[in-house]
Amino acid sequence: MSWVKWDDCLLPYDSGGLNIGSLRGKNLALLGKWFWRAKTEPNSFWVTIIKSIYGANGLLPPTGLNGPKGVSSVWSNIICAGTSIEKMGINFADSFLKSIGDGAETEFWGEPWLCDRPLKQKFTRLFHLEEEPNIHVRDRVTWIDRDAIFTENWRRTPSGRTLDDLNSLKALLNAYVKQDKTMDSWVWNLDGNGLFTTKKLAAIIDDKLIGTGSNSNEEFMKNHLLPFKVSIFIWRVLRRRIPVRTKLDKRGIDHDSVRCPLCDDDVETIDHTLFFCRHAMEIWDRVYKWWGLGTVSNLSINEAFRGKCNHSLSPLWSSVWQSIEWTCAYLIWNNRNQKVFSNSSWNGPTGLMEIQLKSFEWISCRIRNRKMDWLGWISDPWSCFV
């Protein structure tokens, strides 16, 4: 039985999802990685074979992405994946740019390095005047103190609109920031660090495929001191998506009673099960007294799970206390399930001991720079972080 829409699970954390992502996005991103590999591994044996079959550029941008008509092959399917990414409105074909080092391995006119496309496409009229169309960057331009010195070699002197194109080209050259390195390399301009990652491309594709959903203002909360399963449980609680009996009854699943299986005092709702059931209240009271916080009063889902305790506490202490609250709720729910399915449950002292054991195990394994003492944890947990 589904309790949360699958599309909501696919959403990124900042949109309130579980950051699973779509299979289509991951598949296209993995295929797109071959574009990056073909660019960055030009001397590889497999690239040599691809170019011998499909031409010098291997059907890659800037001249490719259409694929060979009537031909079905692994490489043509990869090219078609690039086309699919482009159709989503992602400028994938022009996202691979050359970063200039010594300029020895980059064609001045034939490769995208100064802008998102080759200069022969941006300045077509100038390119037709070029005497050496295959010349490399280092033979055409030199940078001295970040000033670009352009060496011209035209069939005839540029004039009119061609002269305007030449001035625009020189302006681009002077604005270009040359990297302080010895060799040319490829960068991917869809990521800030210039390196291609399938994770980043998949996220960009998913943003087009599934967007931000209807809960974009409700970010997924994850406590780094607890296993991910606990964070998912709290995520479901905040969405009111756990199978208490009133929820099951609304879905047409019959039970002998919709009352709480632990106390039988009231109908079983999420708030009752986690807070207002007398067995749950006993556990919360013991946890609060264990931490020296007095007695429990007016607990609610938003108050217990959305915040991080007192804002005057350090970020570490806020996370620690939040992890205790989340662990308490998680184990109360487990206790409820044990009662329903195995007809067994723990009492107050036993429940507190399990919460202490589990929280100590989870937190101590995830705080690397502090050594927690078990005796101190059960007697005075505040002392473990002094």
- Mean pLDDT, the chain, whole residue set: 85
- Count of alpha carbons within 13 Å of 125, Cβ hemisphere only? 14
Q: DSSP string of 144-202?
A: ETTEEEEPP-BSS---THHHHHHHHHHHHHHH----SSSS-EEEETTSTTS---HHHHH
How many CB atoms within 10 Å of residue 43? 6
Q: DSSP string of 29-62?
A: HHHHHHHHHHHH-TTSHHHHHHHHHH-TTTT-TT
Instruction: Provide the pLDDT for residue 359.
Output: 94
pLDDT band at 311 (very low <50, low <70, confident <90, very high): very low
Query: What does the block give as tokens for 187?
Result: 């960068």
Instruction: Provide the pLDDT for residue 30.
Output: 95
Query: What does the block give as tokens for 288?
Result: 């609060």
Instruction: Provide the pLDDT for residue 71.
Output: 56
Cα 328 to the center of its chain, rounded Å:
29
If one compares 375 and 146, the residue with the highest pLDDT of the two is 375
Q: Is residue 360's pLDDT more than 90?
A: yes
Q: What is the average per-residue pLDDT within 189-212?
A: 88
Each residue's pLDDT tens digit, 130-150: 999 999 998 999 888 778 888
Cα 361 to the center of its chain, rounded Å:
28
Q: Is residue 279's pLDDT more than 80?
A: yes
pLDDT band at 217 (very low <50, low <70, confident <90, very high): low
pTM for the model:
0.74
- The residue behind tokens 């994770």 is 199
Cis amide linkage into residue 243, ω under 30° from 0: no
Instruction: Provide the pLDDT for residue 69.
Output: 56
Each residue's pLDDT tens digit, 42-95: 889 998 888 888 777 666 655 555 555 555 678 888 888 888 999 999 989 888
Rank 20-29, 168-177, 183-192, 303-312 by mean pLDDT and report only the highest.
Answer: 20-29
Instruction: Provide the pLDDT for residue 312.
Output: 55
Instruction: Provide the pLDDT for residue 72.
Output: 64
If one compares 317 and 279, the residue with the highest pLDDT of the two is 279
Each residue's pLDDT tens digit, 242-276: 999 999 989 888 888 899 998 888 999 999 999 99
Instruction: Provide the pLDDT for residue 43.
Output: 86
Q: How far apart are CA 120 and CA 91, in angstroms?
A: 19
Q: For the CA atoms of 169, 174, 179, 185, what is the dihedral angle to 10 degrees?
A: 0
Q: What is the average per-residue pLDDT within 175-193?
A: 83
Q: Is residue 4's pLDDT more than 80?
A: yes
Q: How far apart are CA 284 and CA 277, in angstroms?
A: 11
Instruction: Provide the pLDDT for residue 367.
Output: 85
